[in-house]
A and B are shown apart, each in its own frame.
Chain A
Amino acid sequence: DAGITQSPRHKVTETGTPVTLRCHQTENHRYMYWYRQDPGHGLRLIHYSYGVKDTDKGEVSDGYSVSRSKTEDFLLTLESATSSQTSVYFCAISDGTGDPMNTEAFFGQGTRLTVV
């Protein structure tokens, strides 16, 4: 299994509080991604990073921010959590060496976030 660790694995938080999810990789891969998974929607890209301090928005980025200060860590922050952000969050990584699309993405085990 690819060395991807998501923390925490489960979290319950209150509406309006900030929440940070962490993704840590030991593969030295260039690309890192945050997705959310909701029934009927599959996986939707929130943000992704193509290098240290290089990030870009995905299709559902509103209400989320990210940071990548080191190759191995990619943080997802919910600035003020809402009930609509209750979801399962997945981190993924890909090598990106040469052709960034010529590699598969490896996924973490997910973080189940409940906003009450």
Chain B
Amino acid sequence: AQSVTQPDIHITVSEGASLELRCNYSYGATPYLFWYVQSPGQGLQLLLKYFSGDTLVQGIKGFEAEFKRSQSSFNLRKPSVHWSDAAEYFCAVAIVTGKLIFGQGTTLQVKP
């Protein structure tokens, strides 16, 4: 069955430090992958997406993600975290018929 795993439930980083959020997927065909961010009390906003081509994709707010087929991973990175990046982050995979399967989410806390 298709699934998405985000191994880290909660991550704390210092402001200005680098960030990497992990995402592993299980899907037999070529995956369509997404990262979303959710601020408290808000809906989800798309950060970036991967469909094909270059395995390093750039998104909004200075985020990037790298698709690694051999590791079934799509990790999200940011070189320098800002206090406003504190939020919950979700990785998702789109499967046949357009359904989106989400991971459990990673909550990011930023220390001043």
Cα separation A101 to B2 with both chains bound (whole Å): 15
> A33 an interface residue at 8 Å Cβ cutoff?
yes
**CB neighbours of B104 from chain A (8 A):** 40-42
Quick check: A101 and B44 within 8 Å, CB to CB? no
**CB neighbours of A58 from chain B (8 A):** 99
Cα separation A35 to B103 with both chains bound (whole Å): 13
**CB neighbours of B51 from chain A (8 A):** 101-102
> A75 an interface residue at 8 Å Cβ cutoff?
no
> B63 an interface residue at 8 Å Cβ cutoff?
no
Of A48, A92, A107, which is in contact with the most chain B CB atoms at under 10 Å from its CB? A107
Output the least CB separation between B2 and chain A (Å). Answer: 10
**CB neighbours of B49 from chain A (8 A):** 104
Q: Which residue of B lies closest to A109 (CB)?
A: B43
Tell me the A98-116 residues at the B interface (CB within 8 Å): 100-102, 104-110
Give chain A's interface secondary structure class: strand
Tell me the B66-80 residues at the A interface (CB within 8 Å): none
Quick check: B98 and A101 within 8 Å, CB to CB? yes
Q: Which residue of A lies closest to B45 (CB)?
A: A107
Q: Which residue of A lies closest to B34 (CB)?
A: A104
> A19 an interface residue at 8 Å Cβ cutoff?
no
Q: Which chain B residues have a beta carbon within 8 Å of chain A's beta carbons?
A: 6, 9, 32, 34, 36, 42-46, 49, 51, 90, 92, 94-105
Q: Which chain A residues have a beta carbon within 8 Å of chain B's beta carbons?
A: 31, 33, 35, 40-45, 48, 50, 56, 58, 90, 92, 94, 96, 100-102, 104-110
Ranked 9 nearest A-B pairs via Cβ: A100-B98, A107-B43, A43-B102, A42-B104, A101-B94, A107-B44, A42-B102, A101-B32, A42-B105
